[in-house]
Amino acid sequence: MGFRSDMGVLWHLLSAKAKSGADHQERLEAFYSGQREAYDSFRKRLLHGRERLMELLPLPAGGGTLIDMGGGTGSNLEALGDKINHLERASVLDLCPSLLHVARERITQRGWTNVDAIHGDATQYQPPEPVDAITFSYSLTMIPDWFESILHAYKILKPGGIIGVVDFYVPRKWPDKDRKSGSGFTRTFWPTWFGYDNVFLSSDHLPFLSRRFDPITVEENRGKVPYMLGMKAPYYIFIGKKPLQA
Ligand SMILES: C[S@@+](CC[C@H](N)C(=O)[O-])C[C@H]1O[C@@H](n2cnc3c(N)ncnc32)[C@H](O)[C@@H]1O
């Protein structure tokens, strides 16, 4: 994977045709089907903080269930290391068949018998039982009703269950206490840039998550964007707990 495969990804990022379709699933499929093989290599340099999220994620000792919502190729599960083998079940849920195809190949190659890949919508999927942990890694910004997917995650988590999110965002001009503020350039440039690819950055994810869940870890950072001359886009990590008395 090198410059040539990067050019294929960049074509999809820049082409309007590669992201059109009659509905959300069709648009995702149009965007990702031609870049599914190069996805992991390119996103490794763009989607920062994913490994850190999975490392920090508190999982129940001796079992438990995890759903990675909008989990794409399932690459995040690699970052769990040996912890994955102790899970009762881990699911990669996604609406895009092409990325799920890669996830299924990974599951087979890895021999993960406790992992499955599910085609579904993060705002609606009903697991057989309430789950212990749910993650969203750079998926909220691609889910039009992102607030609905957080509310839905809240519903299907067990009391005391964990939510972990990493994503791009817009730091507010006047943020909550202890949160970072963003310059006018940051607040206008990055939403416009990513919006072209149907990635919608928001200043409301962090406040919304913080009001629904008891925060455990909140980090705000910046990461380099490939081929953008060292420019860094803002991203956050949020880990929180569903209150026991929900
Ligand atoms: C930028 S990718 C991130 C994939 C993966 N989580 C990662 O970190 O590499 C966004 C993912 O969200 C998925 N997605 C978007 N809307 C969705 C929805 N409503 N339900 C499930 N998945 C969705 C896309 O198909 C895509 O796989």
What is the arithmetic mean of pLDDT over 159-172?
A: 97
Q: Is the CB of 40 under 6 A from ligand 1?
A: no
Q: Are 47 and 71 a contacting pair, CB within 8 Å? A: no
pLDDT at residue 12 tops 70 = no
Q: pLDDT (tens digit, 9 = 90+) per residue, 45-102?
A: 889 999 999 999 999 888 899 999 999 999 999 999 999 999 999 999 999 999 999 9
Residue from 142, 145, 156, 237 whose mutation best tests the ligand 1 pocket (most atoms within 8 A of CB): 142
Centre of ligand 1 to C-alpha 7, Å, is: 21
Is ligand 1 within 6 A of the CB of residue 164?
Answer: no
pLDDT tops 70 at residue 246: no
Nearest CA, atom 24, ligand 1: 70
pLDDT at 66: 98
99 CB within 6 A, ligand 1:
yes
The pLDDT value given to residue 230: 86
pLDDT value of residue 80: 94
The per-residue pLDDT for 2 is: 72
Between 32-41, 103-112, 200-209, the lowest mean confidence (pLDDT) is in 32-41
**pLDDT exceeds cutoff 60 at 9:** yes
Q: Is 43 in the pocket of ligand 1 (CB under 6 A)?
A: yes
pTM higher than 0.85: yes
142 C-alpha to center of ligand 1: Å? 6
CA–CA distance, 22 with 31 (Å, rounded to integer): 13
CA 119 to ligand 1 center in whole angstroms: 11
The tokens for 125 are: 């999927």
The partner residues of 119 in beta bridges, in order of sequence, read: 94
pLDDT in tens, 221-231: 999 998 788 89
Q: What is the mean pLDDT of residues 170-194?
A: 96
Query: Mean pLDDT throughout 204-215?
Result: 98
The protein residue whose alpha carbon is closest to atom 10 in ligand 1 is: 139
* Pocket lining: 138 vs ligand 1, CB cutoff 6 Å: yes
| Second-level CATH architecture of 49-241 | 3-Layer(aba) Sandwich (3.40)
- The residue to which tokens 């579904």 are assigned: 120
Strands laid side by side in the 232-241 sheet: 115-119, 89-94, 65-69, 131-137, 157-168, 232-241, 214-224
**pLDDT at residue 63, as a whole number:** 86
Statement: residue 1 has pLDDT above 60: no
Q: Which amino acid is at 193?
A: W
157-168 and 115-119 beta bridge pairing: unpaired
Residue 239 main-chain phi, psi, to 5 deg = -125, 130
pLDDT attached to residue 228: 84
Higher pLDDT, 42 or 28: 28
Q: Using CA atoms, how far apart are residues 243 and 212, in angstroms rounded to an integer?
A: 9
Average pLDDT, the chain: 92
Q: Rounded to the nearest whole angstrom, what is the distance from the C-alpha of residue 241 to the centroid of ligand 1?
A: 22
Indicate which residue's Cα is closest to atom 23 of ligand 1.
70
How many Å lie between the centroid of ligand 1 and the Cα of residue 73? 9
What CA–CA distance (Å, rounded) separates 151 from 53? 20
